[in-house]
């Protein structure tokens, strides 16, 4: 199967990070998602019930991402992936990329982040 629902550039303010000030001030993170799902029924029926609703995915991801403070964005990405798989049984695989463009690194860079891919067990 090669069907996929994606959401890119979801911006959320959160307090993740190792540095103490990151937990106080926070920063804006950007999340990209790719959800593997069989879309053949939705392609024929034209019904939301046969796919995943973007707004429900965004609500799920937002809630999981800001529910607690994580020191590592790897942990935050894992919680997001787990939440998506738990909430949407039709999703067989999820890819979560978290961008942290304001990471406290003494260098000039465009972006840093992580990508986690999780499959339904």
Catalytic site positions: 100
Strands (E), 37-112: 93-99
Distance of CA 72 to the CA centre of its chain: 14
């Amino acid at each position: 199967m090669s069907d996929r629902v994606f959401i890119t550039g979801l911006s959320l303010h959160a307090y993740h990070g190792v540095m103490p000030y990151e937990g106080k001030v926070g920063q804006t993170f950007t999340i990209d998602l790719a959800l593997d799902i069989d879309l053949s029924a939705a392609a024929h029926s034209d019904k939301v019930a046969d796919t995943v609703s973007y707004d429900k995915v965004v609500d799920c991801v937002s809630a999981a991402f800001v529910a607690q403070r994580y020191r590592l964005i790897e942990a935050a990405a894992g919680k997001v992936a787990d939440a998506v798989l738990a909430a949407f049984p039709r999703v067989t695989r999820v890819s979560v990329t978290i961008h942290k463009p304001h990471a406290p690194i003494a260098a000039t860079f465009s972006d840093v982040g992580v990508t986690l891919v999780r499959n339904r067990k």
